[in-house]
Amino acid sequence: MASLTFKNVKKSFGKTEVVKGFDLEIKDGEFVVLLGGSGCGKSTTLRMVAGLESITSGQILIGDRCINDVEPIDRDLAMVFQSYALYPHMTVEENICFALKLAGMKKEEIQKKVNWAAEMLQLTPLLQRKPKQLSGGQRQRVAMGRAMVRTPQLFLFDEPLSNLDAKLRGLMRSEIKALHRKLGTTTLYVTHDQVEAMTLADRVVIMEKGVITQIGTPHEVFSKPANKFVGGFIGSPTMNMIPAKVQQKDSKLVLSMSDQELPLPAQFEGKAQAGQEVTVGIRPTDIHLREKQVAEGSALKAHCKLKNHELLGATVLLNAEMGGQAIVAEVPNEDAELHEDQELFIDTKSFHLFDKNSELSLI
């Protein structure tokens, strides 16, 4: 096992820079998820670690060894791709144990490893099939198995679950987590799925347009998003984003937001200025049907028009309008006694404020 370090790593294709100064230290044994929208440079970053893509400038180190010029085969890592890249003429079993055979491992040991992986991935009945006789999800699991049976210094995953149905994805997520707990192998996992990131990661690295915008634990990136992009990207349903302005009223600062005017919440004292245009971020779960569900003194009463509601199961999504501004609230199902003219109570202690221009969080 080993740490993985990026030092100001850049990658350009022709004149287009797609990874712009990537700095990150992944500790030995850590599980880091690289999260971002399509095209932001996640796969390119991973492929540079694997040696499938050259590095334009900067350094990548595994442990304290710079691997910029090390051949892919000598990097001691296993990668699971978005596309599975299985050998079509080999059976599932042969695909899984190919690298072990090459490495000269003993037959019984190989068999033990293959059986263990096949069992975990529900592939045991399929071991003698060829890839073309498998569904996409099954092929993906073979690709996982091939990486699992090796014991490399580093695991790299590129959206390995994107072709699975929701149920299997949930199952595989917990298998990957369990596998990591057991093996403790340093892992860099790429996904655009924030649920995967939040459930798997020790730390999440959020990337936008080739740049890291925040690094933190799942709790940190959820509760303290560094900017508007992260606030909107993490959490489902999405954070409500409401344009607002900070204004001076007598000796105090107030926040004008749709048809509301409220004292600037205490957490922003000294952080916001009179005249500043901001975006207020409010998570749907921070909007309530009853005042007593909000800490005393921090409830903002909002008269809303309820447009419709969607039952999710334990909770209900309310699509409402507050002074012409669409907002979404998520409330417990048992609370749902609803009216077209509905009062909602917003917890102002949970507000996030982002500067309108820089989009950075004010906290």
The residue (of 35 and 114) whose beta carbon lies closer to ligand ADP is 35
- Per CB under 6 A, the list member of 44, 138, 276, 361 interacting with ligand ADP is 44
Measured at the CA of 330, the angle between CA 327 and CA 335, to 5 degrees, comes to: 120
- For strands 277-282 and 325-332, give the pairing: unpaired
**At its nearest, how many Å lie between ligand ADP and the CB of residue 158?**
7
- Rounded to a whole number of angstroms, the distance between the first and last alpha carbons of the chain is 37
Nearest to 162, CA basis, from 132, 201, 193: 193
- Whole-angstrom CA distances from 303 to 285, 321, 325 are 17, 9, 11
Q: Are strands 203-208 and 31-35 parallel, antiparallel or unpaired?
A: parallel
What Rg value do the Cα atoms of the chain yield, rounded?
Answer: 25
Residues 2-61 touching Mg ion, rule: CB under 5 A, are: 43
Among the listed residues 9, 32, 40, 346, the single contact to ligand ADP using CB under 6 A: 40
* Least distance (Å) between residue 162 CB and ligand ADP: 11
Q: Does 43 bind ligand ADP (CB under 6 A)?
A: yes
Residue with Cβ nearer Mg ion (18 or 183): 18
Q: Pick the closer one to ligand ADP by CB: 11 or 180.
A: 11
Would you count residue 361 as binding Mg ion (CB under 5 A)?
A: no
Of the two residues 47 and 283, which places its CB atom closer to ligand ADP in the complex? 47
When CB distances are held under 5 to 8 angstroms depending on the partner's kind, the choice from Mg ion, ligand ADP, none that residue 186 binds is: none
Question: What is the β-pairing status of strands 31-35 and 186-191?
Answer: parallel
Site size toward Mg ion, by CB under 5 A: 1
Least Cβ distance, residue 193 to Mg ion (angstroms): 12
95 binds, among Mg ion, ligand ADP, none (CB under 5 to 8 A by kind): none
Nearest residue to 88 (alpha-carbon basis) of 126, 139, 125, 50: 139
Neighbours of 104 (CB within 10 A): 6
Residue 40's binding partner among Mg ion, ligand ADP, none (Cβ under 5 to 8 angstroms by kind) is ligand ADP
Contacting residues for 326 by C-beta, under 8 A, at least 6 apart = 307, 319, 320
Binder of ligand ADP out of 8, 12, 13, 101 (CB under 6 A)? 13
Q: How far is the CB of 340 from ligand ADP (least distance, A)?
A: 43
Whether 43 and 24 have beta carbons less than 8 Å apart is answered as no
Q: Give helix then strand counts, H and E, for the chain.
A: 8, 20
Which is nearest to 335 in space by CA: 326, 327, 344?
344
Q: Does 39 bind ligand ADP (CB under 6 A)?
A: yes
Shortest Cβ 48–Mg ion spacing (Å): 13
Q: 114 touches which of ligand ADP, Mg ion, none (CB within 5 to 8 A by kind)?
A: none
38 near ligand ADP, rule: CB under 6 A:
yes
Q: State yes or no: residue 275 binds ligand ADP (CB under 6 A).
A: no
Q: Which residues bind ligand ADP (CB under 6 A)?
A: 13, 18, 36, 38-44
Q: Which residues bind Mg ion (CB under 5 A)?
A: 43
